[in-house]
Amino acid sequence: MGAFFDAIIDIISSDSTYINGALFAAFLIFAASGEWVAERAGTLNISVEGMLLAGAFASAVGYDVTESMPVALLAGIVGSLVVAAVQAEMSHRLSADQFVVGLTLNILVFGLAGFLDNELEPTTKHAGRWVIPVLSDIPLVGDALFAQRWPFYLLFAVIPLTWWVVYRTRWGLEVRSVGENPQSADVSGIDVNRRRRQSIYYAGFTSGIGGWFLIFGVIGLFEDSVVGGRGFIAIAAVIFGGWTLRGTIAGCAVFAGALSFRLSVQGLGYEVNSELLQSLPFVVTLVGMALFAHRVRAPAALARPFVRGLK
């Protein structure tokens, strides 16, 4: 038992645990912040996994063609927005089942990305690292938060932007209203399905940044398995967080901690069943959902399609 606790202390006192945790948390937050907006509008955006993968692949191709990080970022956002547009138009203009559309898009994007990656073989690299003086010297969290590759720091813009858009703009007020009571919002003159489509576009925007960040801020290359189901973890983080932004960020941090723990166990040389380690983040996600999903209140109209005149 003593050896077990010694191993735990080694892991939680390792700088790599916090660095990897910050990277995974940032990636999840990019995806989950947009997903949070979409869910506040009443739409469950299952296609976030496909958006992340499309953003990652498009940014890799954009960089391969131009060797420009900003162009790669723009390409990643555009690639993710294409998936968002299909999800939005099919679900909230043609009234197709949003779950079916989302799952179909995830499978389609995975297949296309794998095929096109073999054909194009885009070349990428890591972005440069920015070290912020003084702050980077803080024990444990200094390197994790203030000595990362520069795409990481976009996180400090996306979080306040998302909060401001939802809580300090008329558009955000309308988005929240269509997620709670779409019939009343419709009577007030708000185009419910239009706001829902726009919220999915915002999810595509942040997921595009997340896909680009994953390639240039974390991994440095593209593979069709690069997202690895983490889009679903981002959805779980929104639910875990009780459909609040701060709760969503906390959920991302918890699930990222599980991902980082797995890497730290392997990196420090401890022998643990590899299949168990691989499943750990998803086990933590399921446990979190079981503990918190029934204790929080979802937007009243979440996942309910809106048809004018029908309740």
Identify the pLDDT of residue 8.
65
Query: Tokens at residue 38, please?
Result: 């979409």
Polymer length of the chain = 311
Q: Give the tens place of pLDDT for each residue, 140-182.
A: 889 999 999 999 999 999 999 999 999 999 999 999 999 999 9
Burial label for 15, CB within 10 Å (0-12, 13-18, 19+), is middle
What is the distance of C-alpha 47 from the center of its chain? 11
Q: Which residue has the higher pLDDT, 271 or 138?
A: 138
Identify the pLDDT of residue 268.
62
Identify the pLDDT of residue 165.
97
Look at residue 311 and tell me whether its pLDDT is greater than 90: no
Rounded to 10°, the helix 15-40/230-240 angle is 70
User: Is this prediction's pTM over 0.85?
Assistant: yes
- CA distances to 34, 90, 151, 267 from 141, rounded to whole Å, are 26, 43, 18, 18
Look at residue 259 and tell me whether its pLDDT is greater than 90: no
> CA-to-CA distance for 21 and 44, rounded, in angstroms?
26
- The backbone region for 140, taken as left when phi is positive above 0, alpha when psi lies in -120 to 50, beta otherwise, is left
Mean pLDDT across the chain, nearest whole number? 90
Look at residue 2 and tell me whether its pLDDT is greater than 80: no
| Other C-beta atoms lying within 10 Å of the C-beta of residue 236 | 24
Residues forming a β-bridge with 149:
129
Identify the pLDDT of residue 193.
95
Q: Which residue has the higher pLDDT, 38 or 309?
A: 38
Domain ranges within the chain, ordered by starting residue: 12-228
